[in-house]
Amino acid sequence: GSKFVHMVYCFARSIVIEDMRELSVGTCIPFAEAVMWKPEDMYIAQARQRVAYNKLLQILQREDFVIQEYREK
């Protein structure tokens, strides 16, 4: 359900941030630190989060649909 999707989204986000942190060490790339900053306009940040969350939900639903179709055939 939606709680599971939210948990997967939070887990994936934390993994990506940690991976970016490890890969950017010593490369003078400030992007990993910028990800953790609080934006000035929280409305835009929340809108971006909703878009990413909905995209992940669509991907998971599509994957579930394909798996169900595969099982039927």
Q: Judge if 24 and 44 occupy the same domain.
A: no
Contact assessment for residue 36 and residue 17, using Cβ atoms and an 8 Å cutoff: yes
CA dist 12 and 6 (Å) reads 10
Task: Give the domain extent around 66.
Answer: 38-72
Distances in whole angstroms, Cα of residue 38 to Cα of each of 10, 11, 64: 17, 19, 34
**Whether the predicted model's global pTM rises above the 0.75 cut:** no
User: Average pLDDT of 32-55?
Assistant: 74
Q: How many domains does the chain have?
A: 2
pLDDT digits (tens, 9 = 90+) for 2-32: 788 888 888 988 888 777 777 666 666 565 5
Q: Judge if 32 and 59 occupy the same domain.
A: no
**Residue 24 pLDDT:** 65
